[in-house]
């Protein structure tokens, strides 16, 4: 199960990198149609949500330090 989760996280982060590259191109072009800018923003929001779930999931899997130190 952990391996499957790791693979899904890798796919989500790779997709996020791809979307970020596309969004940067769209946002760098002042002539980009508003529909394309909106689409890029929606995809970025989806990818951010995925990245936050990955971070939360990894945080839940990290061992917690003992308070006895």
Residues counted in the chain: 69
The whole-number average pLDDT for the span 44-64 is 84
Question: What is the mean predicted confidence (pLDDT) over 35-41?
Answer: 98
Q: Does residue 35 lie in a domain region?
A: yes
Question: Is 67 contained in some domain?
Answer: no
pLDDT of residue 62: 65
- SS3 state at 1: coil
Domain assignment present for 32: yes
Model-level pTM?
Answer: 0.75
* Residue 43, domain extent: 2-60
Task: Measure the CA–CA gap between 65 and 69, rounded to whole angstroms.
Answer: 9
- How large is the average pLDDT for residues 8-34? 95
Residue 28 or 57, more confident: 28
| Structural domains in the chain (count) | 1
Mean pLDDT of 48-54: 89
Domain annotation covers residue 25: yes
Q: Any long-range contacts for 58-64 (C-beta under 8 Å, 24+ apart)?
A: 58/9, 61/2
């Amino acid at each position: 199960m952990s391996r499957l989760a790791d693979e899904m996280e890798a796919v989500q982060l790779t997709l996020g990198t791809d979307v970020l590259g596309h969004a940067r191109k769209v946002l760098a072009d002042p002539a980009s149609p508003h529909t394309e800018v909106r689409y890029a923003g929606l995809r970025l929001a989806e990818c951010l949500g995925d990245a936050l779930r990955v971070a939360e999931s990894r945080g839940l899997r990290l061992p917690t330090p003992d308070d006895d130190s």
